[in-house]
Amino acid sequence: MRKEMIVALAGVCLSYGTTTQAASIDIAAKPVSVQTSEQSLLTGKETASKQAAWEAFWQGLLNSRAVPDDYTKTVKTSGAIERTYLSDGPHKTARQSLQTQKPMEQYEIYYPVDLLEKKVACPAVIFLNGSGVPASRYPALFEHLASWGFIAIGNEDPSTGTGQSADTTVAKLLELNEDAHSRFFHQIDTARIGITGHSQGGAGVFNAITSQPHHALYRTAVALSPANERLSEALHWTYDLTKVQCPIFLLSGTKGDFELKLVLPQKDLQSMYAKISGPKVMARRKDTEHGQMLYEADGYVTAWLRWQLYGDKRAAKAFSGKNPEIRTNCLYRDVKIQGRTSHLRINTPSHSSK
């Protein structure tokens, strides 16, 4: 496939595939030889049938769950800390949807009910969608994070690469926190805001924490198989990794041409990691494809956020100390941790979860 075609397709399929429109273009682009009128009619019917089949396939894909509802019970783990934080947390959760303008359409907010009932201000985590994977397609991730004491918020924005929708979402959180009629009135600890994103959303994470107006509010970030620098520039999501200041966790997969040749080749991940001067961790999960990276590494993603936003000492041991668990976990490779692990900064929270 030519480089220009790869770049063009990447804009609509950085997570799971393409769209019905792209499927139609693919079929329409194939030349059909015209012989007799009867053969032409037959060929036309076959083409229409194939197009309908493709559209049905992609529509079903786009409407299905991107994250299995039972992933916390089925994803393989190989470390005690990873296993602990992949399991559901101790808090009862609830969900609230708030309508908003396009392209975000609505906010999906999951939160720990018991903590809010006790008037405990909780840290918040923003999710940035990969292409074709709006928040409504991966509710299990939000619910899991809420069970660990976070207010998790996402939306339906299909274009998160610039970080703009993240900035709008942060502004919404600040608004809700000051709205006396909001369920979240003075319940969001604005000193403990984190962000995570997958694929296109990973590029959006870099932009959100470096160039958007509210970039200084973020205390930590996680980028899951983020679009590499060259690809992001081609798709107008250009980011500058030298401006990253908050502690960041970079993750990628090791399986499939889409992950390894297009979105995030290993050499690109290493180059991106090298440009970040602040506290950082990098790892690649074995035998994991691009789409699976949205949830396969969630045990360590949750542990990272618990460490950074709650000061959770047990979670910290996955990444810090003399023998960080992630270094010895057989499911991960190419692990790098900035400098001496004891020097990784822990953001001290203003409240603690019980």
Q: Tell me the H-state helices in 218-319.
A: 229-234, 257, 266-275, 298-310, 313-316
Of 308, 312, 313, the C-alpha closest to 125 is 308
Task: Give the total residue count for the chain.
Answer: 354
Please report the pLDDT score of residue 26 as a whole number. Answer: 32
- Give me the amino acid identity at 25: I
The structure tokens listed for 300 are 């360590």
- 154, 201 contact by CB (below 8 A): no
Whether omega for the bond prior to residue 68 falls within 30 degrees of 0, making it cis, is no
Please report the pLDDT score of residue 48 as a whole number. Answer: 61
161-171 pLDDT, tens digit per residue, is: 999 999 999 99
- 263, 294 contact by CB (below 8 A): no
> What is the distance of C-alpha 246 from the center of its chain?
17
Please report the pLDDT score of residue 64 as a whole number. Answer: 73
Model confidence at 32: pLDDT above 60: no
Model confidence at 31: pLDDT above 70: no
Please report the pLDDT score of residue 344 as a whole number. Answer: 45
- 39, 12 contact by CB (below 8 A): no
237-267 pLDDT, tens digit per residue, is: 999 999 999 999 999 999 999 999 999 999 9
> Is the whole-model pTM more than 0.85?
no
Model confidence at 45: pLDDT above 80: no
pLDDT band at 22 (very low <50, low <70, confident <90, very high): very low
C-alpha dist (Å) from residue 148 to 115, 213, 319, 350, 353 = 10, 28, 18, 17, 9
Please report the pLDDT score of residue 25 as a whole number. Answer: 27
**Residues pairing with 130 in the sheet:** 133
The structure tokens listed for 291 are 């789409």
Lowest-confidence pick of 39-48, 138-147, 321-330:
39-48
- Give me the amino acid identity at 327: R
